[in-house]
Amino acid sequence: MRKDPIKKDKKGLYYFRANLGYDNHGKKIQKYKSGFRTIKEAREAYSKLLLETPETLSETKKKMLFKDYVEEIFLPWYKTQVKIRTYENRLNSIKKHFSYFYKLPTNKIEPIHVQNWQSELFKTLSASYIRNVQGIFSIAMDRAVVLGLAEKNPSKIVGNVKKQKTKIDFWTKEEFEKVISCIYKDDYYQHFLYVSLWFLFMTGMRIGEATAIQWEDIDFETGVLKIDKTLYYKNLNHYEFVEPKTKASTRFIVLDDDTLMILKEWKKVQEEVVKTGFVMSYNGAPTQKHTISYAITRFSKLANVHRIKIHALRHSHASLLIRMGENPLIIKERLGHEDIETTLGTYGHLYPHSNFEVASKLKGVISAKHSITNLDTSPTNQHTVGFLHKNQKVQ
């Protein structure tokens, strides 16, 4: 919502600062007027000033600096187009990387500027990250075209960086076993970390899904875990349950007996220290991502195992299921993917041994028999006349 331009000073009089567009250098043209006794007088003067300069506004709006466009127009609009947690997660990246164009008028950003920007980003950032940032930049420029602040989208002319296949990192079963063997369960906090890493490795849940799990979401009789929410965590005083990432993310996972036993044990220990509905909690509050990340760093080092990111525990679960020979459709449902293409596209390369197994299984499947006489009475192929198999007798 746009702020009211009419303000009241300490003396009780009203004033305003009108934005009349931008000069040839992209700087704001503003006019300040004050001393109005009533808000009505101030509004009338403000409206009159804008009506007197419609042509100026129409021409100079096209000279708007990209910095002003992003802060005053794009970001307020973009905030209404995505989920609040998505907006907040992307805000710092937008401000940091869009600043490359801040001194340029929005309609003067050319393809060469975008290409040079890409080159700068490539010096320190991954291709996948750059693709995401440029994707948002393209949205911003598309919006500028719609609003008449730019004639073209230079980002689309240049094109986004080439999509690269991301290498899937994960722990094998043996690596995970080494890591958890370094955790001292008799210590309450380490017991919590043991349960958290196990829970993530053995379910393949996203970290937001796992930290949102309540004890009431687990049916210990049937072993079924319900996943129908994710946790949006800003800080200790500001967190809330929000809808899952996609519709397919709402699902049920059947837990194995080992996981159920570990959770039951943890529930008893936790209840002696704190009363909470969160499964992954040692102090009553939901677990923060950096807590798990730090634990992975510490214990992977102790176990002499390569460090992975939290999301790689999800990949580790998928890898474990593939190693066990599970059907991709089962993996899709368990991970909450929207389609099988996502599952195969992400983990298909983990199936190379399956080709050899299939070839082995195909051996002997078909009974290799053939006719001992020619049953085909159709005309002989002109290219093979006179050529007979060495075992075929001439009549």
Question: Can you tell me the distance from the alpha carbon of 318 to that of 312, in angstroms, rounded to the nearest whole number?
Answer: 10
- Count of residues in the chain: 395
pLDDT, residue 201, reads: 94
- Dist CA 358 CA 379 (whole Å): 39
Q: Which residue has the tokens 């100079």?
A: 60
pLDDT (0 to 100) of residue 224: 94
CA dihedral 220, 190, 286, 284 (to 10 degrees): 80
Domains of the chain plus CATH, in order, are 6-61 (no CATH), 66-158 (1.10.150), 173-332 (1.10.443.10)
Exposed / middle / buried, residue 316 (Cβ in 10 Å: 0-12, 13-18, 19+)? buried
- How far is Cα 127 from Cα 109, in angstroms, rounded to an integer? 22
For residue 105, report the phi and psi dihedrals to the nearest 5 degrees.
-65, 145
Q: What is the pTM of this model?
A: 0.63
One-letter identity of residue 327: N
Q: Which residue has the tokens 């800080």?
A: 235
Residue 5 buriedness (CB in 10 A; 0-12 / 13-18 / 19+): middle
Contact by Cβ (8 Å): 203, 317: yes
Per-residue 3-state assignment (H helix, E strand, C coil) for the chain: CCCCCEEECCCCCEEEEEEEEECCCCCEEEEEEEEECCHHHHHHHHHHHHHHCHHHHHHHHHHCEHHHHHHHHHHHHHCCCCCHHHHHHHHHHHHHHHHHHCCCEHHHCCHHHHHHHHHHHHCCCCHHHHHHHHHHHHHHHHHHHHCCCCCCCHHHHHCCCCCCCCCCCCCCHHHHHHHHCCCCCCCHHHHHHHHHHHHHHHHCCCHHHHHHCEHHHEECCCCEEEECCEEEEEECCEEEEECCCCHHHCEEEECCHHHHHHHHHHHHHHHCCCCCCECCCCCCCCCCHHHHHHHHHHHHHHCCCCCCCCCHHHHHHHHHHHHCCCCHHHHHHHHCCCCHHHHHHHHHHHCHHHHHHHHHHHCCCCCCCCCCCCCCCCCCCCCCCCCCCCCCCCC
Walk along the chain (395 residues) and give the pLDDT tens digit of each residue.
456 778 888 888 999 887 766 665 556 677 888 989 898 888 888 777 765 655 544 555 557 899 999 998 899 999 999 888 788 889 999 999 999 999 999 999 999 999 999 999 999 988 888 999 999 999 999 999 998 899 999 999 999 888 766 678 889 999 999 999 999 999 999 999 999 999 999 999 999 999 999 999 999 999 999 999 988 877 777 778 888 877 888 999 999 999 999 999 999 999 999 999 999 999 999 998 899 999 999 999 999 999 999 999 999 998 888 888 888 888 888 888 877 776 766 776 665 555 556 566 677 777 767 777 777 776 666 665 555 555 555 55
Q: Please report the pLDDT score of residue 364 as a whole number.
A: 74
Q: How far apart are CA 20 and CA 347, in angstroms?
A: 56
Q: What is the pLDDT of residue 352?
A: 56
